[in-house]
Structure 1
Amino acid sequence: MLTRAQIDPVVTAALAEDAPWGDLTGEVFLPAGATATAQLTAREDGVLAGIDVVAAAFRLTDPATELTAHRADGDRFTTGEVLATVTGPARAVLQAERIALNLVQRMSGIATATRAMVDAVEGTGARITDTRKTTPGLRALERHAVRCGGGVNHRFSLSDAVMAKDNHLAVLAQQGVDLTEAIRRARARLGHTTRLEVEVDRLDQIEPVLAGGVDILMLDNFSLADLAAGVRQVAGRAIVEASGTVTLDTVGDIARTGVDVISSGALTHSARHLDLGLDMTVAAGADGAARADSAAGAAGTVEAAGA
């Protein structure tokens, strides 16, 4: 699960970008004593991800705000459900609402797209995983969203595992280096806990790669027939991962070839934001300024889903 150490720097940077010197509109329009209650409401069906991120957006804007979650990350929800309620100073709630919505809409969109793929491969044994095709600075949040949707995570960064892809193999070929021997040398330099994966794009590359001693073999942009043939050829000697232009329409057929893992960059780079809104009730505070300015401080309902 996400920790504050992962969430707070991202949210702090987003808040600073959105209100570097405060929220001018709130300061000139809203009484200082006004309070607000806002409901995070689903405008369409989906899977929730990022409720702690929403809480952080309000908490880091003003610690006096409080969020009550009615749904947890990973929960499915339907249109019209209230997912969380936030209360606190109206200025703070309105200042934080856009950052809170931007992040939870994106994360929930990723979780929802992931859940659709996971459901499409149910019963096959294949696992759905993400890639490093994430938004710079948001990787921890987006990968958490994948897990909320029932997927699993690939290596988090270049530092986590060895993964030799087509361009790595092209450099080896250019230098006249034998692929099997290169894999063996790489394996000899690694600790026993570090995995080694190699990507291939042809069936005739499989045996030289397996001979080097890989843990994972990625079959990239293979046809369905070649994926099935590759699985038979590997015969359990390595984990088989399928990748390349994976979509919701194709993922089920890919899974039925017998591969162990299906990786999809589209989970993070192409997921649309889910439609969630923040419905807000603003009430006048007890101080004199709030009472004097009845137009700004009178109780009313506003919809904070715009720009």
Structure 2
Amino acid sequence: MISQSQFDKEIELIISNAVREDVGNGDHSSLACIPASAQGKAKLLVKDNGIIAGVAFAKKVFQYVDANLKVETLIEDGAKVKYGDIVFYVEGASQSILKAERLVLNAMQRMSAIATKTKTFVDLLEGTGTKILDTRKTTPGIRALEKWAVKIGGGENHRFALYDMIMLKDNHIDFAGGITKAITKTKDYLEENNLDLKIIVEARNLEEIAEILKTDGVYRILIDNFNYEDTKKAVTLIGDHCLTESSGGINEDTAREYAMCGVDFISSGALTHSVYNMDLSLKAV
């Protein structure tokens, strides 16, 4: 996984780029009718039910836009919220509050939706020992936000990007000439380039799992698109050789059954690519 400093840098880039995109050479709507000296106060109002996420991010946005803005937090990230709850108040220059408004809302609405969906999976897997993972199926440009939201919802992050973990999927294996060649070439590459990266290998059937197990150095086997019975067989076959991960169209209806097969992880792209934004608004008070 990436370091905290790398993650913080990603968040900084997201904020600076989003403000550039939205504000450009000025928020002319506010500049036209609100004096620079005007002071105001607004509340973040919940108009939905779920898990709130993005409070800490919102504070970073307000700080970036205007270091003099003050935030009074009533509800922290990860808490359950319901219609009518007030998450925080922000107070300061009215122009600054309006400049930050849309970025705060866009981010928090999506992050809260992801956290809510993640918490649904976490609850479904309770007591099984299986953990829910996100994927790289994220919105381009805001991956750090979406993966942050997964953590807030109680899930775990898979690799952040292509550079922080090796993941040999079907195309890599086919292009490399087979599983054994793909793993061997990867281990040689890591040694030659002095890289310390974990290796995950995808298996499409039990025969491929058997072949993977002939080579040491694999951190986790991705049991992809297996049915329940074959997943159980795969887990038994793998034993304590390495960690196991199920993936492939797993949803709220099937997640617990796959967890009961004994896998260590379930990965789901739906955590980030199939959510409906939580309804939030920032209202003047």
TM over 0.5: yes
How far 1:5 sits from its partner (Å)? 3.1
Match of 1:190 in 2: 190
Residues 46-195 of structure 1: pairs in structure 2 closer than 5 A: 46-173=50-177, 179-190=179-190, 193-195=196-198
Question: 1:193-242 CA distances to partner (integer Å, 9 max, x unpaired)?
Answer: 53211101111111111111222110111111211121122122211100
Question: 1:37-89 CA distances to partner (integer Å, 9 max, x unpaired)?
Answer: 11112111221221122122222222221112222222222222111110011
Any conservation in 2 of the 1:110–1:145 contact (CA below 8 Å)? yes
Residues 193-232 of structure 1: pairs in structure 2 closer than 5 A: 193-213=196-216, 214-232=218-236
When residues 7 and 179 of structure 1 are mapped into structure 2, their CA distance, relative to the original with a 3 A threshold, is closer
Match of 1:272 in 2: 276
Question: 1:172-209 CA distances to partner (integer Å, 9 max, x unpaired)?
Answer: 33xxxx53354245335536953211101111111111
Question: Radius of gyration: which is bigger?
Answer: 1
When residues 7 and 228 of structure 1 are mapped into structure 2, their CA distance, relative to the original with a 3 A threshold, is same
When residues 182 and 29 of structure 1 are mapped into structure 2, their CA distance, relative to the original with a 3 A threshold, is closer
Question: 1:264-297 CA distances to partner (integer Å, 9 max, x unpaired)?
Answer: 111111122111111212xxxxxxxxxxxxxxxx
Give the TM-score, by structure 1 length: 0.85
SS of 1:211's partner is coil
Question: 1:125-170 CA distances to partner (integer Å, 9 max, x unpaired)?
Answer: 1000011111112111111111001111111121112110000111
Please list every run of 5 or more consecutive structure 1 residues that lacks an aligned counterpart in the other structure: 282-307
SS of 1:133's partner is coil
Residues 1-80 of structure 1: pairs in structure 2 closer than 5 A: 4-80=8-84
Structure-2 separation of matches of 1:106 and 1:49: 8
SS of 2:96's partner is helix
User: How big is the alpha-carbon RMSD for the aligned residues of Structure 1 and Structure 2?
Assistant: 1.8
Match of 2:252 in 1: 248
Any conservation in 1 of the 2:117–2:271 contact (CA below 8 Å)? yes
Match of 1:295 in 2: none
Match of 1:284 in 2: none
How far 1:4 sits from its partner (Å)? 5.0
Please list every run of 5 or more consecutive structure 2 residues that lacks an aligned counterpart in the other structure: none
Matched letter for residue 186 of structure 1: T
